[in-house]
């Protein structure tokens, strides 16, 4: 059986949800406390035993390449000033087996993945989306690789989401659960409205795929949003070979929208050795202030209603 050695990280999206910050900067470089989101993804790949990583980039994405390259001037400066801890942090991101290819037009996730065809060749591989940061004892990518070792088949990470959110995700129509958290799948549907969603099990940005997906992607018609959807190609792959869904039970942080990004920053801040104590105290104090503010507002509203009532009574009597 071929070992899973390669991962691809699509990073060509325009990041419109974070404008104006992403006008001239890659959204993948936005930091969670002090680490760019894409570094979390690369670390998950490496901690899972992935050897080669292809990042699919586009316009304004040069900082991603620079981030994973050496910066001789900076390194020299840190060495001279004996800032060895910082030097270590900077050096951690150098010398990885990273490759880059550009997607020239935003034609969808399916099209982005198709750009990895030559890199992947005839091997199973992993797709990791940058909007989802995963936290679990065993990295999610490794969980998918372990499933592959047993099933020799594609498997896609899924997680339950609130029913009203199905239109934000690829959703599966699960068949039998064949092992703890492993499902056969009847259908994969991209972004169905809640009324049409076959379940609440959503695709969450980690895929282990067999190379047969490329032939399908080459002929895949645009789907939802008029883009070539990876979910549609996976649904077609499932018609010729088994594609399983693996339910993720760890913690998922969605850094793809503003509120998710803010929540993730707070959660990681509360674990970060340099800021966790201060941040915890700040949040507690802030919560008290907000509570007091809300109470004050509520009292003012009640007073206002009472005043109106008194006024009404007065008018009636006159
Ligand atoms: C993409 C996929 C979708 C998946 C989601 C996970 O959507 O198309 O199937 O559920 O990622 O984050 P996007 O968030 O890029 O719109």
DSSP character string of 139-163 = -HHHHHHHHHHHH-SEEEEEEE--G
Query: In the numeric block, which tokens belong to residue 177?
Result: 């659960």
In angstroms, rounded to a whole number, what is the distance separating the alpha carbons of residues 243 and 284? 46
How many angstroms separate the Cα of 277 from the Cα of each of 42, 274, 284?
Answer: 28, 8, 11
β-pair type (132-135, 251-254): antiparallel
* Cβ atoms of 60 and 12 closer than 8 Å: no
- What is the pLDDT at residue 225? 87
Determine if the peptide bond prior to 20 is cis (ω within 30°).
yes
* Cβ atoms of 10 and 130 closer than 8 Å: yes
- What is the pLDDT at residue 44? 96
Ligand 1 neighbourhood includes 158 CB (under 6 angstroms):
no
Distance from the alpha carbon of residue 290 to the mean position of ligand 1, in angstroms: 35
- What is the pLDDT at residue 317? 75
β-pair type (35-36, 31-32): antiparallel
- What is the pLDDT at residue 91? 87
Ligand 1 neighbourhood includes 190 CB (under 6 angstroms):
yes
Distance from the alpha carbon of residue 204 to the mean position of ligand 1, in angstroms: 7
β-pair type (182-190, 243-247): antiparallel
Beta-carbon contacts of 153 under 8 Å, excluding residues fewer than 6 positions away, are 210, 241, 242, 243, 244
Distance from the alpha carbon of residue 26 to the mean position of ligand 1, in angstroms: 18
- What is the pLDDT at residue 312? 87
Ligand 1 neighbourhood includes 131 CB (under 6 angstroms):
yes
β-pair type (35-36, 52-57): unpaired
For a pocket test of ligand 1, which of 107, 170, 209 has the largest count of ligand atoms closer than 8 A to its C-beta?
Answer: 170
- What is the pLDDT at residue 80? 93
In angstroms, rounded to a whole number, what is the distance separating the alpha carbons of residues 285 and 47? 37
Q: Which residue intervals of 105-193 are DSSP H helices?
A: 109-114, 117-120, 140-151
Distance from the alpha carbon of residue 245 to the mean position of ligand 1, in angstroms: 15
Ligand 1 neighbourhood includes 166 CB (under 6 angstroms):
no
- What is the pLDDT at residue 15? 85
Per-residue pLDDT of the chain (318 residues; tens, 9 = 90+): 789 999 999 998 888 899 998 888 899 999 999 999 999 999 999 999 999 999 999 888 889 999 998 899 999 999 999 999 899 888 888 888 999 999 988 889 999 999 999 999 999 999 999 999 999 999 999 999 999 999 999 999 999 999 999 999 999 999 988 888 999 999 999 999 999 999 999 999 999 999 999 999 999 999 988 999 999 999 999 999 999 999 999 999 999 999 999 999 999 999 999 999 999 999 999 999 999 999 999 999 999 999 988 888 888 877
* Cβ atoms of 94 and 75 closer than 8 Å: no
The position carrying tokens 């259908």 is: 187
Give the bridge partners for 98, in sequence order: 53
- What is the pLDDT at residue 1? 72
- What is the pLDDT at residue 139? 97
In angstroms, rounded to a whole number, what is the distance separating the alpha carbons of residues 45 and 130? 12
SS3 166: helix
* Cβ atoms of 50 and 167 closer than 8 Å: no
């Amino acid at each position: 059986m071929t070992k899973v050695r390669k991962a691809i990280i699509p990073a060509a999206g325009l990041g419109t949800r974070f404008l104006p910050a992403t006008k001239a900067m890659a959204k993948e470089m936005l930091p969670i406390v002090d680490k760019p989101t894409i570094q979390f993804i690369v670390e998950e790949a490496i901690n899972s035993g992935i050897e080669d990583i292809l990042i699919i980039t586009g316009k304004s994405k040069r900082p991603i390449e620079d981030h994973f390259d050496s910066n001789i001037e900076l390194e020299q400066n840190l060495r001279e000033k004996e800032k060895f801890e910082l030097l270590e942090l900077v050096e951690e991101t150098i010398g990885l087996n990273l490759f880059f290819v550009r997607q020239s037009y935003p034609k969808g996730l399916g099209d982005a993945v198709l750009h990895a065809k030559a890199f992947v060749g005839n091997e199973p591989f992993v797709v990791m989306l940058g909007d989802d940061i995963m936290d679990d004892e065993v990295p999610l990518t490794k969980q998918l690789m372990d499933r592959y070792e047993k099933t020799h088949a594609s498997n896609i990470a899924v997680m339950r989401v609130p029913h009203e959110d199905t239109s934000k995700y690829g959703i599966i129509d699960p068949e039998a659960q064949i092992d703890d958290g492993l499902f056969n799948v009847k259908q994969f549907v991209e972004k169905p409205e809640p009324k049409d969603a076959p379940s609440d099990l959503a695709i969450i940005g980690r895929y282990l795929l067999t190379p047969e997906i490329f032939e399908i992607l080459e002929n895949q018609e645009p789907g939802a949003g008029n883009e070539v959807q990876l979910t549609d190609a996976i649904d077609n792959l499932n018609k010729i070979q088994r594609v399983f869904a693996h339910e993720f039970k760890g913690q998922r942080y969605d850094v793809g929208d503003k509120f998710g990004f803010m929540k993730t920053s707070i959660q990681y801040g509360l674990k970060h050795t340099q800021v966790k104590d201060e941040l915890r105290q700040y949040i507690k104090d802030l919560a008290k202030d907000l509570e007091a503010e809300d109470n004050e507002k509520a009292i003012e509203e009640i007073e206002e209603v009472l005043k109106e009532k008194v006024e009404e009574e007065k008018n009636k009597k006159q």
